[in-house]
Amino acid sequence: MLILTCSSKLQLLESVLRKGLPETLLVCGAVMHINRGNPAQHEVMVDSWPEFKAVLTRPQKEVVKDNRDYYANLHAVFYREEDACRTLLENKDAVDWDKAFQLQGKAWLLHLGTLSPSDAPLVNDNWAFASNDRSLRYLKSLIEDFPNACLLDQKGQLIAWCLSDAIGCLTHAYTLPEYQGKGHMKTVLQALGRKLQAKDFALYGSVLPENQNSKKLLISQGFHLLSLTNYWHQYWLH
């Protein structure tokens, strides 16, 4: 366990955490404050350096004087390996379990990736309008020719994905049922959005009128409704 105090190491840590956004948001935010004057008087601990598996941010010991004040005693954790996180949290020099505290964090256990043509059958099986070899060929062509993004589990199996098509539209977004309701589509949508914006594309997508969950997600990400047809709802991100 190490406490990072060197400004160059803290800057390097911030750059690494930025590359892991949005999964690293909580710890990254704390580290950014530390690198910009440290108004909350926090410090950063890692299990090892420079190759770390767990990061913990916490108030400096002199900050929290009331052992019952969990409002002031805010900890944030990010980890790549659960065992490394458990070891860090069980270390009494890292976390004072005699004091009330908050612990917020997220694991970096899921990985962003790009679909391959071999994934087309799974995408085809989970598309409501797919029914034949033509739809399979169509989806395979989208995967081969246009930007896409997907989320994988620890075993490299698909969890969620989103494609784009020949008119630059976000489309065919789906999360497998056992992973729905956990914010995975938001992660995929942001990843694909960054790819398209890097190529100077405008971001928009088509959503079935009855798909309320997708509408809410897009609106939460800054998209706006454009009533272009009776069947599709188009959204535009400014």
Tokens at 218, concatenated: 């897009």
Predicted local distance difference test score (pLDDT) of residue 235: 54
CB 149 within 8 A of CB 191: yes
Predicted local distance difference test score (pLDDT) of residue 229: 53
Residue 34: which of 60, 54, 66, 71 has the closest Cα?
60
Predicted local distance difference test score (pLDDT) of residue 237: 52
Predicted local distance difference test score (pLDDT) of residue 64: 87
Predicted local distance difference test score (pLDDT) of residue 144: 96
Predicted local distance difference test score (pLDDT) of residue 205: 86
Predicted local distance difference test score (pLDDT) of residue 227: 64
Q: What is the mean pLDDT of each run of 10 residues along the chain (238 residues)?
A: 91 90 87 94 92 91 84 88 81 82 69 87 90 92 94 84 94 93 85 85 84 84 68 45
pTM score above 0.95: no
Q: Compute the distance between CA of residue 197 and CA of residue 39 in angstroms, rounded to an integer.
A: 34
